[in-house]
Amino acid sequence: MKSSSATALAHPNIAFIKYWGNRDNVLRLPSNGSISMNLDGLFTRTAVSFQPSLRLDTLTINGHEVTGKGLTRVSQILDIVRKISGINAKAEVVSQNNFPAGAGIASSAAAFSALALAASKAAGLDLSEAELSRLARRGSGSASRSIPGGFVEWQMGSGDEDCYAFSIAPPEHWRLADCVAIVSAAHKKTGSTEGHALAPTSPLQNARVEDSARRLTLCREAIFQRDFEALAEIIEIDSDMMHAVMMTSNPPLMYWQPATLGIFHAVREWRASGFPAAYTVDAGANVHVICLKEYAAETEKRLRELPGVSETLVAETGGAARLVNG
CB of 251 to ligand DP6, least distance (A): 17
Helix (H, G, I), strand (E, B), or coil: what is residue 145? helix
Q: How far apart are the first and last CA of the chain?
A: 20
CB of 18 to ligand DP6, least distance (A): 4
190 contacts ligand DP6 (rule: CB under 6 A): no
Helix (H, G, I), strand (E, B), or coil: what is residue 34? strand
Name which of 121 and 196 has its Cβ closer to ligand DP6.
196
CB of 19 to ligand DP6, least distance (A): 3
Name which of 69 and 304 has its Cβ closer to ligand DP6.
69
Cis before 100 (ω within 30) = no
Q: Are 144 and 133 in contact (CB under 8 A)?
A: yes
35 contacts ligand DP6 (rule: CB under 6 A): no
Q: Are 41 and 316 in contact (CB under 8 A)?
A: yes
CB of 94 to ligand DP6, least distance (A): 21
Binds ligand DP6 (CB under 6 A): choice among 12, 141, 149, 171? 141
Binds ligand DP6 (CB under 6 A): choice among 113, 142, 146, 205? 142
Q: Are 288 and 282 in contact (CB under 8 A)?
A: yes
Closest CA to 32 of 144, 157, 165: 157
Residue type, 61: I
CA–CA separation, 312 and 51 (whole Å): 41
* Total of residues contacting ligand DP6 (CB under 6 A): 16
Residues pairing with 165 in the sheet: 154
Quote the Cα angle for 175-180-185, to 5°. Answer: 165
Task: Show contacts with ligand DP6 in window 273-292 (CB under 6 A).
Answer: 282-283
CB of 305 to ligand DP6, least distance (A): 27
Task: Show contacts with ligand DP6 in window 3-32 (CB under 6 A).
Answer: 15, 18-20, 28
Segments of 101-160 assigned E as strands: 151-154
34 contacts ligand DP6 (rule: CB under 6 A): yes
CA–CA separation, 109 and 146 (whole Å): 6
Stretch that binds ligand DP6, among 39-47, 172-180, 190-198, 226-234 (CB under 6 A): 190-198
Binds ligand DP6 (CB under 6 A): choice among 11, 196, 215, 220? 196
Binding mask 95-114 for ligand DP6 (x = CB under 6 A): -----------x-x------
Query: For residue 23, what are the contacts with CB-CB under 8 A and spacing of at least 6?
Result: 29, 30, 31, 156
Query: What is the binding site for ligand DP6 (CB under 6 A)?
Result: 15, 18-20, 28, 34, 106, 108, 140-142, 192-193, 196, 282-283
